[in-house]
């Protein structure tokens, strides 16, 4: 005899537990959606651009597979061309060039270097070649070239810093602290800047900077530095006075510091001396233009006085004793005339 067994319905606790689990799943999904929306809002792309990037990523993955297969088959050039075509069809071509960091450099020179790259598919851009061409520009110390999808080529320029003016036989040239020539400069614009001159002076600018740092009080007074014989410096000051320094970095720095101390005590700059020679380590030689003339006049007056006295003595020996005072007076008068002349 058969018997039918009826199972009881689900317990209340089990039903409640299932409802709670469903609620948690719904909350988790809602929370995940809000986090995803927040992340999407933070990205610098709009929805259309993001779709293009995802499309490009998918196509790129397919192209990478194609490249691997093509290389295995011995046709890498064809694979690379196919990859570029895929990128171009997706809209990833250079349509805009953005230059950053330019202050002194003429931006047109940068655009001239990349003009031939406009319209190229992004994968075909040779950023290393572009950078190598940019660093050849006189003002460019370094450059960074990057792709900004979907269609922008970004160039970040690091410019050299003007430091001094190099005097050449036919023109003045602005240089940086390593002696790299930047641009020609007019005499009017060169006013107030340190001028260096002499063969090989441009490559000695860094050493000159170190030398002038040894005497900070004198540095603002230096208007020009001449590199002499490829071995030492002559410094010209705003007062048109010249200081000749010895050879050797340490010797020159020591001499410049000694001169700075002497100038602080005796006000050498602005004085009568037109030049100071410190090439000898244990002395300083002052050159005063009028001193030689004064010495010559004094010597001529002394000789005239000696000749007049000899003449008076001869007259006295001849018996004309009353003429001696007059002769001596005449000698002094002649000496004064000689000194004036």
pLDDT in tens, 257-281: 999 999 999 999 998 899 999 998 8
Q: Could you tell me the CA-to-CA distances from 182 to 132, 144, 157, 171, 223 in Å, in that order?
A: 18, 20, 15, 13, 20
Read off the pLDDT band of 337 (50, 70, 90).
Answer: low
The answer to whether residue 24 is domain-embedded is no
User: Do 155 and 177 reside in the same domain of the chain?
Assistant: no
Q: What's phi and psi for 51, nearest 5 deg? A: -65, -40
* DSSP 8-state assignment for residue 219: G
User: Do 322 and 273 reside in the same domain of the chain?
Assistant: no
pLDDT of residue 55: 72
Judged against a pLDDT cut of 90, whether residue 1 lies above it is answered with: no
What's the domain range around 204? 162-287
Looking at 68, 89, 110, the residue that finishes a domain is 89
Average pLDDT over residues 232-255: 95
The answer to whether residue 28 is domain-embedded is no
Domain count for the chain, please give it. 4
The answer to whether residue 42 is domain-embedded is no
pLDDT of residue 200: 93
């Amino acid at each position: 005899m058969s018997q039918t067994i009826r199972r009881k319905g689900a317990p209340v606790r089990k039903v409640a537990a299932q409802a709670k689990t469903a609620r948690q799943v719904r909350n988790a999904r809602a929370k995940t959606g809000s986090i995803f929306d927040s992340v999407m809002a933070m990205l610098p792309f709009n929805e259309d651009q993001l779709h293009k990037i995802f499309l490009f990523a998918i196509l790129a993955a397919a192209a990478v597979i194609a490249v691997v297969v093509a290389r295995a088959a011995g046709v890498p050039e064809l694979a690379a061309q196919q990859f570029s075509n895929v990128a171009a069809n997706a809209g990833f071509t250079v349509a805009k060039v953005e230059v950053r960091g330019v202050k002194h450099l003429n931006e047109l020179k940068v655009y001239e270097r990349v003009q031939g790259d406009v319209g190229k598919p992004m994968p075909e851009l040779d950023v290393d070649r572009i950078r190598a061409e940019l660093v050849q520009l006189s003002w460019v110390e370094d450059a960074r070239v990057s792709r900004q999808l979907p269609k922008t080529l970004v160039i970040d320029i690091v410019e050299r810093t003007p430091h001094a003016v190099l005097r050449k036989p036919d023109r003045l040239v602005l240089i940086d602290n390593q002696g790299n020539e930047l641009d020609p400069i007019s005499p009017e614009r060169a006013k107030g800047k340190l001028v260096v001159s002499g063969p090989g002076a441009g490559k000695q600018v860094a050493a000159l900077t170190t030398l002038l740092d040894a005497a900070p009080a004198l540095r603002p007074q230096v208007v020009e530095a001449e590199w002499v014989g490829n071995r030492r410096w002559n410094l010209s000051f705003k007062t048109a006075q010249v200081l000749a320094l010895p050879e050797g970095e340490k010797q020159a720095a020591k001499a410049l510091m000694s001169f700075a101390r002497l100038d602080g005590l005796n006000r050498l700059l602005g004085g009568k001396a037109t030049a100071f020679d410190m090439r000898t380590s244990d002395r300083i030689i002052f050159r005063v233009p009028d001193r030689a003339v004064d010495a010559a006049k004094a010597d001529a007056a002394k000789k005239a006085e000696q000749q007049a006295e000899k003449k008076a003595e001869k007259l006295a020996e001849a018996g004309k004793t009353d003429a001696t005072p007059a002769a001596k007076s005449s000698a002094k008068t002649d000496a004064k005339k000689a000194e004036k002349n």
